[in-house]
Amino acid sequence: MTLAPDLIETLARARADLRMGVPVVLQNDREAALVLAAETLDAQRLADLRALGQQPVLAISARRAQTLKARAYDGDLARVIVPPDASLSWVLGVADPADDLKTPMKGPLMTARDGSADLHRLALDLVKSARLLPAALMLDLTAAEAFAEAHHLTRIPGVEAAALMSRSSPLDPVVSARLPLAVSEAGRLHIFRPEDGGEEHYAIEIGQPRRDAPVLARLHSACFTGDLMGSLKCDCGPQLRGALAQMGAEGAGVLLYLNQEGRGIGLANKMRAYSLQDQGFDTVEANHRLGFEDDERDFRIGADILKRMGFSSVRLLTNNPGKIAMMEHCGVTVAERVPLKVGENSHNRAYLATKAAKSGHLL
């Protein structure tokens, strides 16, 4: 018997450490590195890092590197060599595009091209999964195990962690209870909790939909600004209410409310993207400048919940062909795509046009 955390639990601990500005140690058979999230770095820890006597690198995504005109020799990421006199503001300026237009010249940035980038790739995956900017300050380590123990740092085996993080976390049902709704008094809310310590996801079941026939279903990603605050910058709130209303009218359906705010980048990064949009960039360009892809959501979660609830076929309320493809890939048949075109206004018209033109949404 052991009370020690397993790797899933250790990764959850590492995410919490990075969000608080605490370093973690990544290690594989050939190398090891000390990792700090650029977003939560402070001046004292930067000084402590320099006192170790080696030159750190700042791992950034290829999307961010493209904005900064830095060479991404590793394909999906770049290892920016941090100058000896680089300040905290220099590190944050490379990581965060907030002041790109004010101070566009951040280089020339020198990037590493020799050696493995496996640990750097894992570090970026970790900081992204912690809903932080995809930028990680890293320093090569020797005697990593002793270093981690001496400084009470979380240590992660790289190869095993990378394989684990590439998979969608299993979901466990927590509880379900009757929930009368305005659209239907025959409502029921189901809570599902991922095993990796991530945010819980919800399924709102309307009526008693048959398990042996295609169910009217919607995969709805959480949108605090649209769903709760009535934001006019997106169509999320009207889509949520429209989908529930249609399920109520038909007497049956299931709406999956997935906690993947801002297309999977988190509310803070979504607000950063909004700030960039105020500078003139469209929604896709803003995500890229931050270092993210167009869409970071994991729709495998939705397929998993549907199957856990006994559904194998859906009539999917969506304008996004990516959701259809992922459902089919995960073994959930999409018998019909049901369009959901609601909520267009003068504030989100350009946003919807960008989704159609660059993300393939059927609007």
Which is the catalytic residue, given 297, 300, 315, 349?
297
Report the pLDDT value the prediction gives residue 274, as an integer from 0 to 100: 96
Read off the pLDDT of residues 199-234 as tens digits, 9 standing for 90 and up: 999 999 999 999 999 999 999 999 999 999 999 999
Read off the pLDDT of residues 152-204 as tens digits, 9 standing for 90 and up: 999 999 999 999 999 989 999 999 999 999 999 999 999 999 999 999 999 99
Separation between Cα atoms, residue 348 and residue 167, nearest integer Å:
34
- The pLDDT of 92-103, averaged and rounded, is 92
Report the pLDDT value the prediction gives residue 342, as an integer from 0 to 100: 83
Q: What is the mean pLDDT of the chain?
A: 94
Read off the pLDDT of residues 117-160 as tens digits, 9 standing for 90 and up: 999 999 999 999 999 999 999 999 999 999 999 999 999 999 99
Read off the pLDDT of residues 281-304 as tens digits, 9 standing for 90 and up: 999 999 999 999 999 999 999 999
Report the pLDDT value the prediction gives residue 145, as an integer from 0 to 100: 95
Label residue 355 by pLDDT band (50, 70, 90).
confident
Report the pLDDT value the prediction gives residue 1, as an integer from 0 to 100: 60
Give the residue among 38, 33, 39, 30 at the shortest CA–CA distance from 52.
33
| Owner of token pair 């018997």 | 1
Which is the catalytic residue, given 74, 196, 295, 304?
295
Report the pLDDT value the prediction gives residue 357, as an integer from 0 to 100: 76
Report the pLDDT value the prediction gives residue 362, as an integer from 0 to 100: 65
* 297 is an active site residue: yes
Report the pLDDT value the prediction gives residue 351, as an integer from 0 to 100: 76
Report the pLDDT value the prediction gives residue 354, as an integer from 0 to 100: 77
Report the pLDDT value the prediction gives residue 350, as an integer from 0 to 100: 80
pLDDT of 363 strictly over 70:
no
Report the pLDDT value the prediction gives residue 53, as an integer from 0 to 100: 86
